[in-house]
Amino acid sequence: MPLTQDYVMELRREFPALGQTLDGQSIAFFDGPGGTQVHRTVIDAFARYLTEANSNAHGAFEFSRRTDRTVLAARAAMADFFNAKRPDEIVFGQSMTSLTFNL
């Protein structure tokens, strides 16, 4: 699909934060990875996790097991996306900066 103005506007509508205005003007986001605006599906998935599974990992109760399953599924999906040999090669952290400092 060619990148037309209409297609760009259609894509922007899928990112709710990009629809905001300030004093009647559109907002430009230049704050880099720390302020990355997310797709509607990410917001929906995060809200679902917070209401259905939000818990510490590795506990002996259902919400904790849901968290563990969510993390394992995310690792498997990212391993597939990056063509990793195993899901345990995938690590999540607060930010790339914090992960780099911990190497």
pLDDT, position 34: 67
Q: Is the pLDDT of residue 21 over 90?
A: yes
pLDDT, position 98: 87
Distance of CA 29 to the CA centre of its chain: 17
CB 29 within 8 A of CB 12: no
Burial class (CB in 10 A: 0-12, 13-18, 19+), 3: exposed
| Residues 6 or more apart in contact with residue 93 via CB below 8 angstroms | 99, 102
Q: Report the chain's mean pLDDT, rounded to a whole number.
A: 92
User: In which band, very low, low, confident or very high, does the pLDDT at 47 lie, cut at 50, 70 and 90?
Assistant: very high
| Residues 6 or more apart in contact with residue 1 via CB below 8 angstroms | 7
Mean pLDDT for 3-25 is 94
CB 42 within 8 A of CB 48: no
The widest CA-to-CA distance across the chain, in whole angstroms, is: 52
Nearest partner of 85 among 76, 73, 95, 98, judged by Cα: 76
